[in-house]
Structure 1
């Protein structure tokens, strides 16, 4: 799959930031970049239970399959059909189908071990796998058992700080001081209004920030020279806030670590998840008679994956008023100047500042990033069960042979996500520390602990000054373990029969007709912590900084009938000049979905060979995707969005129609040079499902040719053209989408999206926006894939047959168009590092007896960091083309034992300047030169 350029960067994988809160480490294939929910995954031609949660905070809203659940040692091949498949396989095949064909007829014993690591002795992973297969009862039956264990050791961005974190050599785009565009910074990016050790302030009011704009003291506590002060790492002194170059956002500065003691936000994200996975798979079949075969599959997969880091729990004026109750859990901490953890010098400095400002001297406020209590780490534990039973056979009737098969499949996927959270009420109690008169520091009397249990039920004070200054009892009192649960279930019954219609001069006209009944059910339970505390009026109130989540559950079923036919029109034996072979094909499927009603999908095409060396093929297909349970049945839940306000001074001249955007923003009363708070921090709103959604619909045209010249044995050259158009696309409209749909529309303000949000008297976006799922998107992909394969025994060059053979394979993709729309707003997707216009993989192999050597070249074409922006907004917006070289050496000795050595990124190539590409795409470049060592035995 890695070598197939038709696969885009996955919607989610163990690499990089996890795209949802309840599915760490999941991997979803994404053909053509149309979204994992539009790529259908099959195993042995059958559907597989989805791993996606039905929560709106999941990785993807559809029903994709985590391909990490498929045992690699059993995979015989991966069949990929691009741009069609809906009439044959049903819903979700808009972009195509990936079918994992397993080796269910294996006989023997095979054990395999593998380990991997980088030259920096991290990025460690290993795999132990074994399979045993046996034929029995005179080869009438086969049983295959496979077990695999995989482990990956996690990493955070801080482990590659110069490429994705806050390293001294990091490059990243930050708003320039003029505020009208961006510049490429050198060094880490550091937030100044809060630090890990804490920033004292004279005000706790919302957005009344200390250290505003990195240059003015604002409401900060300062020294005699007017420098803003922060607590030292040990909390025993106040030291000047140091920073490099302030940015235009008013919140951050950039530069080297030695010159900055602000918060290095980029270090706090996942680089690769920590993961363990156990696969147990049993496959078998038995020929009851010569015309009747029974088959079965049994699956069990157990995994645990941890997102290593994320944004910590913040207490800052940026996110609300002071934390005086549990409804302002992210506000600045209100603290007494008599707090016993303060040193006398710290207390004097704070009181002097309050006196000078004419404020009461008994209270001050603290802004901090609570990395010592909350790292953003969460762990998803999963259990998958799957059982398949089938019968297939053949019989003769009316002079024809009929082949039939039927199967029943049940799959269940259970996941539980656990995260350490902070109980706001207990946090309030613990920071209200007082001396007890006996030399001890205790919680002030009169407190009431949260109704939800903490790790320590007895209030113990915490020291909020510095990092890791609290004892375990205090930390445990404010922390608790929150758990969510998801259960997905799938039933699938399938039966079909194939036979012939009539024998034509060119061959048998064949058909296949069948019936499928499918049930899909999903349930998400947020657990007691995330659901919140039940109040007397029936509402729920949060325990922590996460507003109450709701249960999401639902199900639908389908009844489907389908058919395929193949009509041979001309065969080679007919000796027709100019027509070596000609075949017509067709397929159709009718689906009645209990949620969305009936839909027809159909396909028609054929193949034509003018001579034996070349074949042209093509088809026209209609496909569909039924809305997922998340999209249909999610109740409204609170969300927090941050992004780009189209009326902000950095964006007002961008978008598909900059003139329309500018005019509409002015109509809305937004002033010139406006700087939106939404670009800096989150605002609160609501998001939910839509029971009135209809199917997504698509049309696909594919056409291509394959060339196998008889005079160059072993050479195959082919090319395929794809054109996929999707309408009624289900889009989860975030705040960015709604804002753009409103301000980029010629019908402003008379469209429904302009009524989904409001602005306050200062033109800032207000809380209370509404987002959700709508059938309002379109998407269009057009591309070309070319491939070459050449096998050359060196004996053809006059050498001995013992000198081996060469094999070359090349897979190339070029994208012509990939765009989409929401209402009248058009968006380009093609040309970023996640969706490259050009890329290819070339393998050069040499085989000689037990020796195997491969040299691999991977090419990524030039890419832009940001599309659809005015010139000059992002300097150096284009990354140059990129080459990656890998090599493999393998050897089999004594016929049964094999070893291999893989070196990825042989030349230790780094990401291309300005180093802003996709982490997933440039993984080997970010990690650096890395190795895989494998050893195995097979009898």
Structure 2
């Protein structure tokens, strides 16, 4: 190993090379690679958990060495032993294993992440402004409780909830991703309750690299392509350095679901044979089934008059044809099993993937103004647009009077003699589907400095920065029904001249109303559509100013070694402002936007220290004082330690108090609404609900106690082998959460009048109920589990003397033992293994890479374990216990897990004195395995842990000139 490489290896720590968890390794770094294939001897001197570099992609020759800190610690000493577990993805992991052009998709495969928000599962975020966001969620505690950093600093959020869209980062310059899987508020501040994800850039990159790729699914849809370019060069004898990058990515939208798995048709419905005490389950799972109270051309659900419901079951087809619905072998007020179940949309037209376009620009300029000071400036701009098909119009309570002109024409006057009104359910096949269009631009400007100098006779490091970012969002929903106009247009009668007109037009001829014929497909006029639909929107601006200073030093030593200390402070100011035209603030079926305005500031100071206590034993502690302008002062802290009794084994443990302050959206949200479906606990049927959510300015910070205990084994007899096991336990109190419609109805059913007061009939008549909700500090969330990580890197020639190449295998798994969200108002349920509301019991990922100088192949196996529809259900077939609203019985509650197999092939070419080129092919879900299926009336699959597109292919070229 060269002296230069040795020096750099002391500055970086080694990490297992396949999508891996950082493990303690040697100071000299186990530097075998496919390029040199030389077996170096591991000295197994356990170092801290940071990513390793066997050799940098380029070296900036400067009098001022880069300031290096371990993610999870503010101490700028590469020999410090952080007790906090850290997982790392390296550049080779990203190149060999990234399944798409989104780095977040690869990061989310790590088992520590559960329930992250992606463009795939945010397709129905109609009014929240978060559709399209790639936001990381550690431990299923919510993306707002996972802090995202760029080079150890806060980066620009993409929403007023504070979520960072990973797609806004300069992905082609990321040299590693560090994931801290433990509370880190004392080091990094608010939002680090579940941990920290730090994206580290290659700030000294020299050369030019160009990437281009394209992909498609095995079904011929989901076409995507991206291109990127990044370059860096030095100037002024390498005292200065410039980095530039840009990328563009596009994905075609998939606006209907034609996959076979969506024809599953299972539904959860009330057992018609259930009676108190007869031992049968309250609910049952049956299929194939479909919605029977809303059809593309409309179905009459009830009628009033001399003979009640005399028209029930009449539905209308092409051109207004009159038919009679077959309710099948089993039916409720909303669902039919068998019969004409297939007439319903059944989620086929809800959209599978958004159409998207993203553009990124990034630039960085740095200069060594002195041996102890490097100044830098960064600028970044991101622009993105995500377009979703949010599904058809959905109405179950269209009121038609007995003299409705279209109803009389369809059924005849004789059939309506004794009918005063009819209630129709429709998904309005003739109307365009609702479309969400979320556009964002995020800009960030950072100025700072860093350097190393001598203090107390030892090397010390400092850094300081100031950052301004602004995010502008335009949230628009197209083809939304105006409630008042729909009501007028539905009330169609014949004028004295015999034409069909709106009844309101008879008394107000200039009102512009155009009547709607709901009865059939191919019957609604374009004038009626133009009259009744609108396009509500909201514009929001989110501004953040952050500044911080950090100093890391070694002020003295004890009998056991140097004492490291880091101190610093941070100031942050966040403001949001919005605009919504008055006509879009109310009166719409969805998207009744209200602007959010408000802000707050935070002042923080911290101290961290590492104190060696004896040979192999060290203490680490940190404390931070934080003053919020909205909620006052809080203290966070962490204590921990490492013990290395022998070279092969390291034990580690931490205990921390972490906080998360309420974000602007939680404090000041003006109000957003959505239409959703709930299970009516009184009838067992399904109701449609208009739900309105507003902010709460009286919220306090959340507080969490986190414990992590684990060990790392790197046996000397097997160089390259590392095994780590960590147990974690997080208890969050005063959690900011809110009850949504289903919970509010359930609590009202149990007799709590405070919840009943939040429920009322929908005044528009378009839905059954109206529910209002706001967040409160009322919940406790407890989660615990075990992380297991094992990796082995082996030159194949150790086994077969004449066979070249390096084999790297890596397995990771997280076992979620407990996840309990306790509101105090209902029984606490462990939802670990609950597919709908909790993390899976097991999330796992295994990879194996075989590398040669000119070729590499990577195989990945990943998935989740089997679970339940809901852990609140009690599964039984006979002898079932008495009905309990919190724990209802059901005859089938199990959900199969899923297993996906991916492959990546990379062929490497090197042109002498010119550059390197790689040609790659990535196949995701090679076996075309179906997703986790759930019994729903919409999309019949889990969209968080599953691959909805099926088998996909992506190929491309990477070219690098150095």
CA distance in 1, matches of 2:919, 2:869: 41
Superposition deviation, residue 449 in structure 1: 9.4
Q: Deviations over 1:563-622 (max 9, x none)?
A: 11112234xxxxxxxx4x222111111000000100000111111111111111111111
1:317-352 CA deviation, whole Å, 9 max, x = no partner? 3xxxxxxxxxxxxx424485545xx8xxx7273312
**Residue 488 of structure 1 is aligned with which of 542, 545, 550?**
542
User: Deviation digits for residues 733-782 of structure 1, max 9, x if unmatched?
Assistant: 224334555777xxx76x9557656999xxxx996765322111101111
1:671-710 equivalence runs, <5 A: 674-675=682-683, 679-683=685-689, 687-710=693-716
Q: CA deviation at 1:139?
A: 1.3
User: Any stretches of 5+ residues in structure 2 without a counterpart?
Assistant: 1-106, 275-280, 877-888
1:276 pairs with one of 357, 371, 376 = 357
Name the residue aligned to 2:384: 303
Paired residue for 1:26? 133
Residue aligning to 2:194: 95
Could you tell me how far apart the structure 1 residues matched to 2:169 and 2:830 are? 34
Q: Distance in 1 between matches of 2:372 and 2:559?
A: 29
Matched, 1:725 2:748: no
1:919 matched residue in structure 2: 942
Name the counterpart of 2:900. 884
What is the number of residues matched between the two proteins? 820
Structure 1 distance, partners of 2:496, 2:846, is 76
Report matched runs for 1:635-650 at 5 Å.
635=670, 642-644=677-679, 648=681
Q: 1:427 Cα shift?
A: 4.1
Query: Quick check: 1:870 aligned with 2:874?
Result: yes
Moved more, 272-281 or 43-52: 43-52
Q: Under a length normalisation based on structure 2, what TM-score does the superposition of the two structures give?
A: 0.79
Q: Which residue of 1 aligns with 2:108?
A: 2
The 3-state SS of whatever aligns with 1:736 is helix
* Counterpart mapping for 1:501-520 below 5 A: 501-520=555-574
Question: What are the Cα deviations for residues 462-499 of structure 1, in whole angstroms up to 9, with x where unaligned?
Answer: 54442243443442233222211121111001012222
- The yes-or-no answer on 1:190 pairing with 2:244 is no
Equivalent in 163, 175, 178 of residue 270 of structure 2? 175
Is 2:955 the partner of 1:897? no
Measure how far apart 1:516 and its partner are. Answer: 0.6
* Cα distance change on mapping 1:4 and 1:912 into 2, 3 Å: closer
Corresponding position of 1:667: none
Residues 758 and 463 (structure 1 numbering): CA distance in 2 closer, same or farther, change over 3 Å?
Answer: closer
String of CA shifts for 1:504-556, please: whole Å, max 9, x gaps.
Answer: 34432121111111011223434333214xxxxxxxxx2x3359543321101
| Matching of residues 194-343 of structure 1 within 5 Å | 194-199=294-299, 203=303, 219=309, 221=311, 228-235=313-320, 237-247=321-331, 249-255=332-338, 259-260=340-341, 262-310=343-391, 312-314=393-395, 316-317=396-397, 331-334=398-401, 336-339=403-406
Residue 123 (structure 1) shift: 2.3
Change (3 A) 1:264 1:191: farther
> Partner residue of 1:634?
669
1:908 maps to: 928
Match of 1:938 in 2: 960
> For residues 229 and 561 of structure 1, do their structure 2 counterparts lie closer, same or farther at Cα, with a shift above 3 Å needed?
same
Per-residue CA deviation, residues 657-676 of structure 1 (Å, 9 max, x unaligned), is: xxxxxxxxxxxxxxxxx515
Determine helix, strand or coil for the equivalent of 2:109. Answer: coil
Report the 3-state secondary structure (helix = DSSP H, G, I; strand = E; otherwise coil) of the residue aligned with 2:258: helix
Q: Which residue of 2 aligns with 1:786?
A: 788
Shift of 1:637: 6.9
- 1:913 and 1:432 map into 2 onto residues whose CA distance is 41
- 1:523 aligns to 2:577 (yes or no): yes
Structure 1 stretch 751-760 or stretch 90-99: which is displaced more?
751-760
- Structure 1 residues 907 and 518, CA, compared in 2 at 3 Å: closer, same or farther? same
Contact 1:204/1:334, CA 8 A, preserved across alignment:
no
Instruction: Answer yes or no: is the 8 Å Cα contact 1:784–1:815 preserved in 2.
Output: yes
Residue aligned with 1:619, SS? strand
Cα distance in 1 between the residues matched to 2:336 and 2:319: 23
Give the aligned partner of residue 137 of structure 1. Answer: 236
Match in the other structure for 2:92: none
CA distance in structure 2 between the partners assigned to 1:717 and 1:450 by the alignment: 77
Q: 1:243, 1:262 within 8 Å by CA — same for their partners in 2?
A: no
Worse-matched range after superposition: 369-378 or 414-423:
369-378
1:550 is aligned, of 573, 585, 594, to 594
> What residue is the counterpart of 2:864 in the other structure?
860
Q: Following TM superposition, by how much is the alpha carbon of 1:201 offset from its aligned partner in structure 2, in angstroms?
A: 7.6
Instruction: Please give the alpha-carbon distance, in whole angstroms, between the structure 2 residues aligned to 1:72 and 1:296.
Output: 18
User: Taking structure 1 as the reference length, what is the TM-score of the superposition?
Assistant: 0.81
Alignment of 1:612-631 (within 5 A): 612-631=647-666
Contact 1:550 1:637 in 2 (8 A): yes
Q: Which moved more, 1:22-31 or 1:488-497?
A: 22-31
The answer to whether residue 818 in structure 2 is matched with residue 817 in structure 1 is yes
Segments of structure 1 that go 5 or more residues without pairing to the other structure are 54-61, 209-216, 223-227, 318-330, 452-457, 533-541, 571-578, 649-673
2:609 corresponds to: 565
- Tell me the distance in 1 between the aligned counterparts of 2:565 and 2:342: 72
Deviations 1:880-903 (A, max 9, x none): 444321111111123521111122
Pair 1:831-2:889 in alignment: no
SS in 2 for 1:159: coil
User: Contact 1:313–1:371 (CA<8 Å) still a contact in 2?
Assistant: no
Structure 1 stretch displaced more, 708-717 or 495-504: 495-504
Aligned equivalents of 1:547, 1:892: Cα separation in 2: 51
CA contact (8 A) 1:516 1:561 kept: yes
**1:163 aligned onto 2:261:** yes
When the two chains are superposed, the root-mean-square deviation of aligned CA atoms in Å is 3.2
Residue 376 of structure 1 aligns with which residue?
Answer: 434
Kindly state the Cα deviation for residue 440 of structure 1 after the two structures are TM-superposed: 8.2
Greater relative contact order (CA < 8 Å, ≥ 6 in sequence):
2
Q: For the Cα contact (< 8 Å) 2:677–2:689, is it kept in 1?
A: yes
**Alpha-carbon distance in structure 1 between the residues aligned to 2:712 and 2:448:** 36
Contact kept in structure 2, 1:334 and 1:366, CA below 8 Å: no
- The offset of 1:920, in angstroms, is 2.8
Whether contact under 8 Å (1:498, 1:510) holds in the other structure is: yes
CA distance change for structure 1 residues 116 and 243 in 2, over 3 Å: closer, same or farther? farther
Whether contact under 8 Å (1:382, 1:415) holds in the other structure is: yes
The corresponding residue for 2:411 is 349
Q: Helix, strand or coil for the counterpart of 2:929?
A: coil
Retained in 2: the 8 A contact 1:640–1:683? yes
* Corresponding residue for residue 124 of structure 1: 223
Q: Could you tell me how far apart the structure 2 residues matched to 1:89 and 1:929 are?
A: 40
CA distance in 1, matches of 2:537, 2:692: 22
Distance 2:176 2:375 in 1: 23
Alpha-carbon distance change, 255 to 742 in structure 1, aligned in 2, over 3 angstroms: closer
Determine if contact 1:188/1:264 at 8 Å carries over to the other structure: no
Q: 2-side partners of 1:369 and 1:798: how far apart?
A: 65
Q: Secondary structure at the match of 1:552?
A: coil
**Counterpart for residue 463 of structure 2:** 405
Q: State the alpha-carbon separation in 2 of the partners of residues 482 and 586 from structure 1.
A: 51
Mapped contact 2:292–2:327 kept (Cα < 8 A): no
Does 2:638 align with 1:603?
A: yes
- Give yes or no for contact 1:148–1:278 (8 Å, CA) kept in 2: yes
Is the CA contact 2:540–2:595 (under 8 Å) kept in the aligned structure 1?
no
CA–CA distance in 1 between the matches of 2:163 and 2:510? 38
C-alpha contact (below 8 Å) 2:735/2:781 kept by paired residues? yes
